[in-house]
Amino acid sequence: MRLALILTILALPALASSPSAWDEMRDRLAAGCEALLPEGAEAGIEVNPFGSESYALALVTLTDPHGATERMACIMDKATGAIELTARFDETP
């Protein structure tokens, strides 16, 4: 019974997180995404407020000097804190 209660509590979504914890996650994601960008790149980083259960997510839009834009996703594993950029959306395999 006790084990079932503990597992239930651990399985609850992050609804119990404080507003400051969410802010910290968003700030850590934005800073990590920015650190992965090419040096001198101008980018807009739009962080999803909560992400998914396992990942924090941001949309990154790079703008080159001619005004062309490229989009990619930046993801952070909430469990490990590892942050990665995806390939650009317009790239084909």
Q: pLDDT tens across 40-90, in order?
A: 888 999 999 999 999 999 999 998 888 888 999 999 999 999 999 999 987
Question: Coil, strand, or helix at residue 31?
Answer: helix
State the pLDDT confidence band at 12, using cuts at 50, 70 and 90. very low
CA distance 46 to 67: 18
Q: Is residue 72 part of a domain?
A: yes
Smallest CA-to-CA distance from 61 within 77, 78, 74, 75 is with 74
51: left (phi over 0), alpha (psi -120 to 50) or beta: left
- As for how many domains the chain has, the answer is 1
Q: Give the pLDDT confidence score for residue 90 in this predicted structure.
A: 75
Q: Is residue 74 part of a domain?
A: yes
Please give the C-alpha separations between residue 19 and each of 25, 48, 53, in angstroms, as whole numbers.
10, 14, 16
The pLDDT of residue 8 is above 80? no
CA distance 1 to 20: 33
Q: Give the pLDDT confidence score for residue 11 in this predicted structure.
A: 46
Q: Give the pLDDT confidence score for residue 92 in this predicted structure.
A: 60
Q: Is residue 52 part of a domain?
A: yes
Domain hosting 59: range is: 19-85
Q: Give the pLDDT confidence score for residue 7 in this predicted structure.
A: 41
Q: Is residue 65 part of a domain?
A: yes
Q: Is residue 36 part of a domain?
A: yes
Q: Is residue 49 part of a domain?
A: yes
Q: Is residue 29 part of a domain?
A: yes
* CA 34, 46, 26, 76 torsion-angle sign: negative
Q: Is residue 91 part of a domain?
A: no
Task: Read off the pTM.
Answer: 0.75
